[in-house]
Copies of this chain bind each other. A is one copy, B any other.
Amino acid sequence: MDMARETARLFDRMRERRPLVHHITNYVTVNDCANIAICAGAAPVMADAIEEMEDMVAIAGALVLNIGTLNERLVASMLRAGERANELGIPVVLDPVGAGATPYRTETARMLLDRLEVSVLKGNAGEVATLAGSEAKVVGVDSHGVSGDLLSICEDFAVRSGCTVAMTGPRDFISDGARSFIVENGHGMMEKVSGTGCMASTVVGALVSGKEDATVETAAALAAFGLAGEHGAREAGGPMSFKTALFDAMDGLKVTELASEARVTRL
C-alpha cells in the first residue's frame, strides 16, 4: 500500500464525512482542539456534564478523552461517555496527558484503559512508557526523557492493551502489535507551542471516526497534522505566529499535498 496516498484518501473521506468529535478535555488547550478540528474538516463538540454524556457521544463520530486537567467530575463523565461509545461502536481516543507526572494521572489513565475499550492510546514517549510500565521519567506534561527502544514499547504495549498505541515525538511511532508505522512529518516548532499534542489527538479522533482501520487512520492523522506543521513553519517568526500558521495550514492542506508529502512508513 502506498501509505501517502492512503493517508490522502483517508483524510479526504474524513472531510466528506465532517465527523463530530466529542471531546472531554482539559481547559488549557480546549480552544485549540476546537479550532484544529474545524481546520482539519471535522466538527468539534466539547461537553463534559454527566447529564448529557450518553446523548452527546451518541451523535458523535469519535470520542476523545484527554486527562490534561482531570478531576473527579470529569473522570466520571469520561467513564460514562466511554461506556456508551463502546456500546455504540464509536471509537475512543485516549490522550493520557501527564501520565507519570503524578500517581493520580497514571492511575486514572490505567483505569480508563482497563474499563473502556480504547481504540487509540496516543501520548508522548514519557506518557506511553509510563503506562506500558517501562522505566520512564516524566517531568510535567511534555517531557520525552525516555530511554529504550521506543518502537518496542509501542508494539509490546499494543499487544498487551489491545489498543493502537501512538507515541508522538520527533518521529511518531504507531503500532497495533501486528503492524507498525513511523510518521516523519512534523516540525520542531510544534514543541514550542502548548497544545500540539492535544490537537494531534483531535485529528486522530477525526480520522478514526472512519472505522476503516484505526492504526492506519492514526498514522494518517499524525502525518496530516505534522505536514500542516511543516507548512505552517515556512512563514513563522516565532512560536505564536507559527501556531496561527499551523491552523491556517491545516485548513489549507490539499489532498494532493498529502499524497505527495506524507511520510508514513510501514515497518
In the complex, chain B residues whose CB is within 8 Å of the CB of A109:
none
Given contacts A27-B30, A35-B240, A248-B239, contact A101 B71 (CB under 8 A): no
| Contact status A241-B239, CB under 8 Å | no
Nearest B-chain residue to A249, judged by Cβ: B238
Does A28 make an interface contact (CB < 8 A)?
A: yes
Residue-by-residue, is A54-94 near B (CB-CB < 8 Å gives 1, otherwise 0)?
A: 01100100000000111111000000000000000000000
Write the nearest CB–CB distance from A189 to chain B, whole angstroms.
10
| Contact status A59-B193, CB under 8 Å | no
Does A98 make an interface contact (CB < 8 A)?
A: yes
What is the total number of copies of this protein in its complex? 3
Residue from B39, B46, B55 within 8 A of A26 (CB atoms): B46
In the complex, chain B residues whose CB is within 8 Å of the CB of A217:
none
* Beta-carbon contacts under 8 Å, A122-150 to B: 139-143
Write the nearest CB–CB distance from A16 to chain B, whole angstroms.
15
Write the nearest CB–CB distance from A90 to chain B, whole angstroms.
14
Count residues on chain A whose CB falls below 8 Å from chain B CBs: 59
In the complex, chain B residues whose CB is within 8 Å of the CB of A35:
193-194, 239-240, 243
Residue from B20, B29, B71 within 8 A of A140 (CB atoms): B20
| Contact status B251-A247, CB under 8 Å | no
Does A229 make an interface contact (CB < 8 A)?
A: no
Name the residue among A29, A104, A140, A141 with the largest chain B CB count within 10 angstroms.
A140
Does A244 make an interface contact (CB < 8 A)?
A: yes
Residue from B31, B55, B193 within 8 A of A103 (CB atoms): B55
A239 CA to B38 CA in the complex, in Å?
Answer: 9
| Contact status A69-B56, CB under 8 Å | no
In the complex, chain B residues whose CB is within 8 Å of the CB of A244:
240-241, 244
Residue from B20, B49, B71 within 8 A of A48 (CB atoms): B71
| Contact status A47-B98, CB under 8 Å | yes
Residue from B32, B43, B72, B251 within 8 A of A51 (CB atoms): B72
| Contact status B52-A139, CB under 8 Å | no
| Contact status A139-B101, CB under 8 Å | no
Residue from B55, B101, B246 within 8 A of A59 (CB atoms): B101
28 contacts between A and B (CB under 8 A): A27-B27, A27-B30, A27-B46, A28-B31, A31-B31, A31-B32, A38-B193, A38-B194, A38-B239, A39-B192, A43-B142, A43-B143, A44-B194, A47-B69, A48-B71, A49-B69, A49-B104, A51-B71, A55-B103, A59-B101, A59-B140, A71-B73, A238-B247, A238-B249, A239-B247, A239-B248, A240-B244, A240-B248
